[in-house]
Amino acid sequence: MDTLAVTRRHDLTDVQWAVLERLLPAPKRSGRPSLWSRRQLIDGIRWRIRVGAPWRDVPPQYGS
Q: What is the DSSP annotation of 5-55?
A: ---STTSPPHHHHHHHHHHSPPP---SSPPSS-HHHHHHHHHHHHHHT--G
pLDDT at 44: 87
Span 43-58, average pLDDT: 86
Tens digits of residue pLDDT in 10-30: 788 899 999 999 998 887 778
Amino acid at 50: R
Residue 18 confidence (pLDDT):
93
